[in-house]
């Protein structure tokens, strides 16, 4: 499917590698670096403010991402909460809107078998979404058809977005102070060269 999508790039097909990641404000990434003899780089581990009085920000930020194969762009949306089915749907709707604005027609979506990817809610939405797109095309309108391609279980190395997360966490690490959630978000967006878009909301009702 990836090869077929690449051959149809001039027909509006796009390959996107999608995944979700947690950006911790406390845990530090594993890193290797050059340093002066006897003066290794030390990444300080931070403690959580369990009371929330002095640090109301969450311990970690959840983020949806899509790596476009054609442009190498990263499209990010942070989440107030955790990744669940209806938030996944909201993210896909946002991605489709952006791709449609470019005149694209088909998204080949490469992602894993996370529960919020394979849930009935998401599968039903994908089915209905594609039906609507095909119907509107018969009326001369355009939309983004999504072809999901699920990776084998426990095979993150097959998803091209995974190394992006690893390198990003190392690049934005702060050795000796805990970043506020807003500062962390700014650093992530700056590193990946993308504009900040308001957080997706988790519906708790």
| Separation CA 123–CA 107 (nearest Å) | 15
Which two three-digit tokens encode residue 113? 């078998």
| Separation CA 114–CA 121 (nearest Å) | 13
For β-strands 106-111 and 145-150, DSSP reports them as: parallel
For every one of its 205 residues, what pLDDT tens digit does the chain have, with 9 covering 90 and above?
778 778 788 889 999 999 999 999 887 666 555 445 555 555 556 555 554 566 788 999 999 999 999 999 999 999 999 999 999 999 999 999 999 999 999 999 999 999 999 999 999 999 999 999 999 887 777 899 999 999 998 888 999 999 999 999 999 988 778 899 999 999 999 999 999 999 999 876 5
Looking at residue 13, the DSSP 8-state letter turns out to be E
Residue boundaries of the structural domains of the chain: 2-26+58-199
Contacts of residues 81-86 at CB distance under 8 Å and 24 or more positions apart, as own/partner, are 81/201, 81/202, 81/204, 82/202, 83/20, 83/114, 83/116, 84/116, 84/202, 85/116, 85/119, 85/121, 85/122, 86/121, 86/202, 86/203
Supply the CATH classification number for the domain 2-26+58-199.
3.30.420.10
């Amino acid at each position: 499917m990836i090869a077929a999508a690449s051959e149809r790039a001039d027909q509006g097909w796009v390959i996107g590698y999608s995944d979700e990641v947690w950006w911790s404000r406390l845990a530090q990434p594993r890193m290797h670096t050059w340093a002066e003899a006897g003066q290794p780089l030390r990444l300080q581990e931070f403690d959580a403010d369990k009371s929330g009085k002095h640090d109301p920000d969450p311990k970690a930020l959840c983020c949806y991402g899509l790596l476009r194969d054609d442009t190498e762009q990263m499209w990010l949306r942070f989440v107030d909460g955790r990744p669940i089915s209806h938030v996944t749907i909201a993210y896909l709707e946002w991605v489709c809107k952006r791709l449609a604005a470019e005149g694209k027609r088909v998204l080949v979506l490469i992602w894993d078998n996370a529960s919020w990817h394979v849930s009935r809610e998401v599968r039903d939405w994908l089915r209905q979404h594609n039906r609507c797109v095909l119907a509107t095309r018969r009326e001369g309108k355009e939309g983004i058809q999504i072809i999901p391609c699920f990776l084998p279980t426990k095979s993150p190395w097959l998803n091209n977005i995974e190394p992006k997360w690893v390198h990003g966490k190392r690049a934005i690490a702060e050795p000796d102070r805990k970043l506020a959630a807003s500062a962390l978000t700014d650093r992530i967006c700056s590193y990946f060269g993308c504009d900040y878009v308001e957080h997706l909301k988790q519906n708790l009702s």
